[in-house]
Structure 1
Amino acid sequence: MKAIELYDLVLDTPNEIFSPNTLKARIALNIKGLSYETKWLDFFQVHSVIPTITKTGEKPTVPVIVDHQHDDKAVQDSWEIVKYLDKTYPDTPPLIHGNNEALQFFFYNYANANILVPIFKLCVLTVVEKCPTKEMQNWFRQTREQSFNMTLEEFAGDDENVHVENIKSGLGLVHTTLKSYSYLSGEKPGFSDVTLAALYKMFSVFRSDLFEQTLLDAYPDDVLRQWWRRMEKYTKHSPPAEAVH
């Protein structure tokens, strides 16, 4: 058993990394070079398994980590997981640098509102198709349509170009920042880079047909592409060799 277990989400492809929420925890673990084991759950298993792990009564979601080196501590939610890892493993690269916790949290919310939403509109119908059973497809559709107060087709919209342009607009300040710094957090990756890399990875899985033109070539230089080359290695199943402690 590895020291840390990461509970992640699976659809119809075993071991496929796609969820932007769980990716933030995975990328954090990989940057820190911490050894972990992935426990894969489908949507239904999240609701049956996670409450037995967290035992908090909170809504069952992933990611969740269980840290067997520290009294089997269970931590839910990517933001809480990153804060926990920074505090518990101080000898690993910090993702919330100095006193910039509020700034990192600001970008987390900015990215969700301005980049994730149009990305999800481009991906949501693919997610439905990749639910492995008809029952799960129906559940996903019903719960999301209830949340959006519209059909998934209405949510996705007819004009993909509008969503692509909205993504590029949302990346404007990102591009400006990365022209001066290697990472959004400065000279080393921080939680803002983790957040954005999670969205890049999700889009590359669900909409590979639009990935390069939308996220890598949004602007007429290689700034975003070079940043992604620095971050992509952290979106894998385990830390890159040079990161392992």
Structure 2
Amino acid sequence: MSQPIIFYDIPSTAAGCAWSPNTWRIRYALNFKDLAYKTTWVEYPDIESVCKEIGAEPSMIRKNGSPYYSLPVIHDPNTGAVVSDSARIADYLDATYPDTPVLTPAGTHTLQKAFQAAFDSATNPVIPYIMPAVARILRPRSEEYFVRTREASFKQKLTEMEPTGEAHETAWKELQAGYGKISGWMKEGDSFVMGNTISFADLLIAGELQWCMKGFGAESEKWKDMLTWHGGRWAKLIDDLKKYEGPVEEMPN
């Protein structure tokens, strides 16, 4: 590969700038495969126009038939390909760079897809906590867009979303139980979903954990509590994948 892949990500005010669980999956993937890349930071209100400008396909089609554009997206100048959606990007990277470490081992494609759906369902209790947390770390233009669109989607003020009191006790235990379900799927003593082999499923989990760490704050009680769950499994996963986080990046002002 002669030219670095252009990786489109969403900035924040958090240390290192990167925060999104979806884009973190690909940040991990690019570093895991040791592929050269450079980040282009895109504020939320600009995502659709940038995607259209570079020829990226929408991530999905809404029920009303309108296209929905989101990040991550990559542009590989070595092949001319522009690929959107983290799962499709992972497939592209494996197919295009077969001599690098594999994200989706042969015969596991369907299982990896199923794991993603099951993981999203199990960890859904994080939503009322992470939505207001993310709003607080976004840069001004993205924050306004994020708050406006998410409040319209959830039909609730983000400032009123986070559970408190007894509701917090119940909701936080549900989130812990969700991660406990995932831990229960994994063999005791194994570091990764596939035992001692890193796969895209692990990057998916780690991306979600990065989301929580950046949103809640590395010194927050919530994040510190999560690191103790299930015998410290998630703290160990983050530590095991630390070498694939890549260099700390900041968005130029």
TM-score range, shorter chain: 0.7 to 0.9
Give the number of equivalent residue pairs. 233
Contact 2:122 2:181 in 1 (8 A): no
For residue 173 of structure 1, what is the aligned residue in structure 2?
181
Matches within 5 A, 1:71-90: 72-90=80-98
Q: Alignment partner for residue 158 of structure 2, among 152, 163, 183?
A: 152
Q: CA deviation at 1:129?
A: 2.4
For residue 140 of structure 1, what is the aligned residue in structure 2?
146
Aligned residues with identical type, % of pairs: 26
For residue 42 of structure 1, what is the aligned residue in structure 2?
43
Question: What secondary structure sits across from 1:69 in the alignment?
Answer: coil
Q: CA deviation at 1:30?
A: 1.1
Q: Alignment partner for residue 114 of structure 1, among 109, 122, 127?
A: 122
Cα separation, partners in 2 of 1:55 and 1:63, compared to 1, 3 Å: closer
Q: CA deviation at 1:154?
A: 4.4
Q: Alignment partner for residue 225 of structure 2, among 213, 219, 223?
A: 213
* 1: CA distance, partners of 2:150 / 2:32: 32
User: What TM-score do the two structures reach when normalised by structure 1?
Assistant: 0.86
Q: CA deviation at 1:52?
A: 0.7
For residue 62 of structure 2, what is the aligned residue in structure 1?
none
Report whether the alignment pairs 1:188 with 2:200: no
Cα separation, partners in 2 of 1:148 and 1:230, compared to 1, 3 Å: same
Q: CA deviation at 1:124?
A: 1.6
Q: CA deviation at 1:168?
A: 1.4
Query: Which one-letter code corresponds to 2:153 in the other structure?
Result: S
For residue 113 of structure 2, what is the aligned residue in structure 1?
105
Query: Which one-letter code corresponds to 1:155 in the other structure?
Result: M
Q: Alignment partner for residue 124 of structure 1, among 111, 123, 131?
A: 131
* 2: CA distance, partners of 1:136 / 1:182: 36
Contact 1:21 1:198 in 2 (8 A): yes
Q: Which runs of 5+ in 2 are unaligned?
A: 59-66, 249-253
Cα separation, partners in 2 of 1:232 and 1:35, compared to 1, 3 Å: same
CA root-mean-square deviation: 2.2
Per-residue CA distance 1:187-211 (angstroms, 9 max, x = gap): 2111110100001111111113111
Q: CA deviation at 1:229?
A: 1.4
Cα separation, partners in 2 of 1:179 and 1:47, compared to 1, 3 Å: same
User: What TM-score do the two structures reach when normalised by structure 2?
Assistant: 0.83
Contact 2:5 2:77 in 1 (8 A): yes
